[in-house]
Amino acid sequence: MIKLIDILKEIGDVSSTWYHGSIANIDQNDLDPLFRQNKGKEFMSTKSAGDGRTGSQDGVGIYFGKDKTCIDSFCPMSYTGFYSEYAKEGFMYEMKLKPDAKVEKKNDLHAIGSEAFKRFRQEGIDAFTNGTELNVLNPKAIQSFRKIMQWKKTPALIPMVRGKKGELIQFNNEQEMLNYLKKELGDYSVFNNKDGFKNYISKDDNIEKGFVESKDSKKWFNV
């Protein structure tokens, strides 16, 4: 049996930090490697609980990745819902295992069934890694788990100058957007266009630009 620090040294990364993406707002007590069987609070996205190998009803484990910016399959970012048109918010979590956690190498982390889970735990295995991913079987082997980022939908405007669209402008909140409009347009009128989006037009005839609201804007915030 080898320990986590030995594996990390072997793959050229002595950091013990891993990341987990989710559309759920959770804490360490919610982490359950048998959540698919227990039907408890889902700490992964609908994607992981539905289609694909990680969504198998027999699959066990809590998945983490080394690169929080990666958006490929099984990457932390892919589970946050940021690129989904249906998700309303998402979160990124940072996790560190205890130094004495028992970790073994396993290329395929996503095909561990319930019976295999019991056997691995009887052998004292806390987690498996393939270098870029980590599948935690024992939540008690986690030293720390904390939320580091959250995305949410934010106000945004599309500048319009003589009928031509400009680049999307995002804001942190509604008041920030209103302050910006006042600065750019002075006194302005608001009306809905044919698509139901608000248009902001200056009452000053010398100001040719205007703005159209965008409802598709999302933005990451550090927690």
Q: Please provide the DSSP assignment of 137-173 as one string.
A: S-GGGEEEEEEEEEEEE--EEEEEETTEE---EE-SS
| 144 and 173 inside one domain | no
Does residue 6 sit in helix, strand or coil? helix
- The pLDDT tens digits for 48-62 are 443 333 334 457 899
Percent of the chain with pLDDT over 90: 57
Same domain, 217 and 147: no
Q: Are both 94 and 22 inside the same structural domain?
A: yes
Three-point CA angle 38, 55, 135, nearest 5°:
80
For residues 147-168, average pLDDT: 93
Residue that terminates a domain, selected from 151, 176, 210: 151
Domain count, the chain: 2
Residues 6+ apart with CB under 8 A from 223: 147, 148, 149, 150
Q: What is the pLDDT of residues 66-84, one digit of tens each?
A: 999 888 888 899 989 998 8
CB contact set of 84 (below 8 Å; sequence gap of 6+): none
3-state secondary structure of 179: helix
182 or 16: which leads in pLDDT: 182
In the block, tokens 């691995």 appear at: 120
What number is the average pLDDT over the span 138-154?
A: 95
Q: Which domain holds residue 9?
A: 4-151
Same domain for 182 and 103, yes or no, is: no
| Domain shared by 116 and 211, yes or no | no
DSSP 50: S
With cut-offs at 50, 70 and 90, classify the pLDDT of residue 38.
low
Same domain as 125, residue 213: no
Is 183 buried (19+), middle (13-18) or exposed (0-12) by CB count in 10 A? exposed
- Judge whether residue 16 has pLDDT over 90: no
Over residues 110-137, mean pLDDT: 92
Residues 32 and 125 in one domain: yes
Q: Output the furthest CA–CA distance in the chain (Å, rounded).
A: 77
Last residue of a domain, one of 121, 151, 181: 151
pLDDT digits (tens, 9 = 90+) for 207-222: 999 999 998 789 999 9
